Structure 1
Amino acid sequence: MGARENGLPDTTPADGLPAEVEIWEVGARDGLQNESTTVPLDVKLEFLDRLADAGLTTLEATSFVHPKWVPQLADAEDLLARLDRRPGVAYPVLVPNERGLDRALRAGVEHVAVFASATESFARRNLNRSLDEQFAMVDPVITRARAEGLQVRGYVSMCFGDPWEGPVPREQVVAVGKRLLDLGCHRLSLGDTIGVATPGQVTALLAAFGDPDPLAVHFHDTYGQALANTLAALRSGVRVVDSSAGGLGGCPYAESATGNLATEDLVWMLDGLGIRHGVDLDALATTSAWLADHLDRPSPSRVVRALRG
């Protein structure tokens, strides 16, 4: 029986890779936030339920960024109020500042994420802060969240390339990332925001950080490098990978950006390498095909297209 018929690749383990990988699913937040038309709340809730049914245990549910800037996620409070929060499933939310944290705390969240930029240009455009000033915004968020008993993840954007500045010096990324860790983030996600990284860059940046334990990776697939970059990260000791069901999402800073690494594509590779992850690929592909129908376009995920035609 071929892979298309049974929905599974042949398994051939490789040396130098982790036995297990945690998938941090961002489709409901990072994926849907860039949609041009409003996704109904009921669809978002069913999407999250289906993702949990497929075995994903970390579902980044929404964002408390001001609705003016991210209108697709203006229903954050309503979503969390109606969400069926499953035992054993984490539902982190993104918060940009203390006002966002206030909203998240009122909604009863247990995990939050903050974001910072590795470059001056993106910090100015996205946060209206300088590279150094951005920490004055996230420091009180991290401090208060931890005092409330919440786990805090840190995102760093533009880790490999910036559309205004070009290649980003590794030491600059490391300085921003380690500052977030020193402030109290328990995990640091390194983002290839415009999807320009290649495996050699990934290996070099992770080596510059040293300890891979607190690190996660977040790749966009603009130039088709997301899976190759993920494999390079796994070989460097990273065990947490961000991805988006069906490859949802996009990057407004690069033409032809194709969005986040598709969770199905990631799972197919992990299955082929014999790496545990806990996700039912068939159920996940069915979910992404279902959502693609709601969005009235094909799924960007190659695996979804292969399995669901």
Structure 2
Amino acid sequence: MFLISSCAKNKNHETQLDTSQEETDVDINTNQESFTEEFKKCYVTFDPEGHKGNHLFKVYAQSTTKPNYYWGFTIAREQDLSDDIYSDQYRILYCKEFVYKGKEMFPTGYTLLHHGESEFTYKRLGASEPTGGFHGREKFTEISFLIDGNLINDSTTEFKMRGCKSFTYIQKSIMYREDNAHTEDATHLKTTKISDGGYFTKNTITAKDMIPMNTCFGSVVSVSVDVVEKGSAANHENVVSFNQDGKRKLEGYSDELFVWNDTKKLSANIESKFSIYNVYATQYIWDTQHYGKYYRYFQNINLNAGESWFFETKVTFDKL
């Protein structure tokens, strides 16, 4: 059983990732060849020391319409136990577009998920920064990884391009207050599954003591500007063009949003469901130079001691 605790010993040396190939455009043959029928819906590559001496997964999810295109998710263990960050957890770091030619994945140069948070975080009343995920103040206590529902039982052996239908990781963690005493705030159960041309994440938090929420970002997705050129909300009546001016776009009480880029032939559909205030949660795109970041949130509500909330987000990428 691939199950380790947060006190697992970290490697002292650091292995640098070779990102040169990922940054290189390739000449893509977009014709769908018959051999693509033999391609798997997902491929998983694992390097036990690939991210700063820690675990690194590359998970490639096949496009549902163009079977030689794949979305390459990078999932890694991030560890920084300084007081400012205080983080030891697994996260989706980013996602890029690839073309598969039967033996090797070739990067197109396009990014789907930018560096940042794409799963869950919240901001406590009085805190200067959000808690959890990209923002730190979170440490895992248990982690497990599954391929097609089967646990990976070896956390030390590298493997490449293991074909499957889905990849899932389940992380239990503690979230902490913004203080140097590292006061425990809540437990966090995160289940993230990559399959069917995208990913689904369910995040459940349970308060250790009453948490006065300034903002609970139940759904957050750092969609790259390579995808965010135009967008519309669930009703598809109001189409906006993004200009990276730092403003909020498509803001409203809805639980679904669609963004796309006609030039780069990429799209993303985002769906969200909350266990609390689902009808009243607000969604929008923060239109910046780096990403069109999707938020769905509510504000100024207390999470009482022992109470649990859950949040679900489904993101599906595709070719136009």
TM exceeding 0.5: no
TM-score (norm 1): 0.23
Considering fraction of residues, name the structure with more helix: 1
TM-score (norm 2): 0.23
Whose RCO is larger (CA < 8 A, sep 6+)?
1
Considering fraction of residues, name the structure with more strand: 2
